[in-house]
Structure 1
Amino acid sequence: MKNKRRIEVLNEKIDDLCKGYDDIPWGKNEYLAQDKEKFELIYKEIKKIKKQEQKYSCCYCNVSLIESHEMIIDVEHILPKSIFNRMTFVLDNLSISCKRCNMGIKNDDLSFFNKNKSEFEKINDEKKVGLSSDYKIIHPNLDNIYTYVHREEISIDGFKLTLFKLNSNGKGKYHKSYFQLGEITRSCLDAIQGIEPRKNYLRASSIDLLKGDDGLVHR
């Protein structure tokens, strides 16, 4: 009940922040000076709520974030706010993730989304995340990651070897490939052998596909 009330209060603050704007800005620097502080406070509250919901783990690779500094824990927008700006504060579209999965891999990519570009404007206006079947990846709020993928860590001579066990194919297999979870295991094996761990995860941004000749995003 306590968390439910916190969410109700948070949504009231969100409504107050967005009042008076024709379109919802997705970055604090896009708000009027008097609203920037409100933006920061809302994001802090979102992070608190989502950390508790996710048991302080990355929503994609399930790495523990308990000992991580706040600066490296991201408020993750499953549908990127740079494309779906009205989803900026939709809690069903929000989660927390590590920098590797968010900034290093997913970023603004939408290749995992089973919707056409022609549908983006409607989705943005309605502010609805849709169904689990609309996503090829394991959706942090529509799916249970443990149904598909289980992360295990084994200690070997002071090193942690991370393994990912697929509990089912389909989404689990795609999710493991998309977030390059096998690379985490390979990096652990490299470190155990005294080899510099690899960090070659990169993905093109889908936002570039939406840009017109004027350089602006057209949904």
Structure 2
Amino acid sequence: MNDETVLTQADIDAIKNSIENCRQNDTTKIWDEEELAPVKQKIKAHYRGLLGEKCCYCCKNTHGEFKLVLDIEHILPKAHYLPFALSPFNLSVACKRCNMNVKGEKTSFLKDPAAAHITPEDTDNYKIIHPNFDSYFDHLCYENTTRNDTKMIKYTVQNDSEKGKFTYQFFRLKELEVDTVNAAQGIKAKPMKFSDLLKKETIDEIEQLLSKLKNN
């Protein structure tokens, strides 16, 4: 097993210390504890490897990209389900779009949010494809083809899967298909030059103002 993902006794102690610090300071923001930073790095490294460098919800490939493009994902939001903030079944990695912009702290992906406090590992309570309990491709087929300037991304629900349908809608995966599919069909608008956004006299004025800054 990769040493970068193995939790040592020191890591376990750091988790316990972080929890105790939160208790003493009367806060629930354990994720902000500095002592937890090395543990979080190992968690991210583990799930990046497990998923093959892709988002657990949209399958965006991040191979070779800066590690911050993927966030540690709490499937059950830690704001509502704090006891599971470090439970392996509740952790994965997701792109910032799916994690922060789309899902955030919502619980509408659960059939019964209250029941998740008691039986959090009940996969039937999740309307989305659960990153750790479900096989993604049993519910959604993800196609990603790139050739020169042509790129096509397509999600297709498998076997009329309810989880596939809900995941597609909840994470607005159609938004990730639109531009690339249109481009593949040759329906690509010509991009506007940045210089077209400004009048020449405005550009000249800005250049003069910047020139004065340089001379000061």
The TM tier, using the shorter chain, reads 0.7 to 0.9
- Which letter maps to 2:108? S
Contact 1:148 1:167 in 2 (8 A): yes
Structure 1 length-normalised TM? 0.72
1:14 aligns with 2:11: no
What is the 5 A alignment of 1:120-131?
123=117, 129-131=120-122
- Which letter maps to 2:68? M
What is the 5 A alignment of 1:149-164?
149-164=140-155
Structure 2 length-normalised TM? 0.73
1:92 aligns with 2:108: no
Extract unaligned runs of 5+ from structure 1. Answer: 198-219
What is aligned with 1:102? 99
Contact 1:190 1:196 in 2 (8 A): no
RMSD of Structure 2 on Structure 1 (CA): 2.6
Q: For CA contacts below 8 A with separation 6 or more, give which structure has more relative contact order.
A: 1
Between the aligned residues of both structures, percent identity stands at 25
Question: Partners of 2:41 and 2:21 in 1: how far apart?
Answer: 22
**Deviation, structure 1 residue 14:** 2.3
How many residues get paired? 183
Contact 2:89 2:121 in 1 (8 A): no
With over 3 angstroms needed to count, the CA separation of the structure-2 counterparts of 1:179 and 1:195, relative to structure 1, is farther
Question: Partners of 1:145 and 1:162 in 2: how far apart?
Answer: 16
Contact 1:26 1:82 in 2 (8 A): no
Could you tell me which of 150, 158, 178 is aligned with 2:170?
178
Contact 1:26 1:81 in 2 (8 A): no
Question: Partners of 2:29 and 2:37 in 1: how far apart?
Answer: 13
Contact 1:77 1:88 in 2 (8 A): yes
What is aligned with 1:114? 111
Secondary structure of 1:66 counterpart: coil
1:25 aligns with 2:29: yes
Extract unaligned runs of 5+ from structure 2. Answer: 192-216
**Deviation, structure 1 residue 15:** 3.1
Secondary structure of 2:144 counterpart: strand
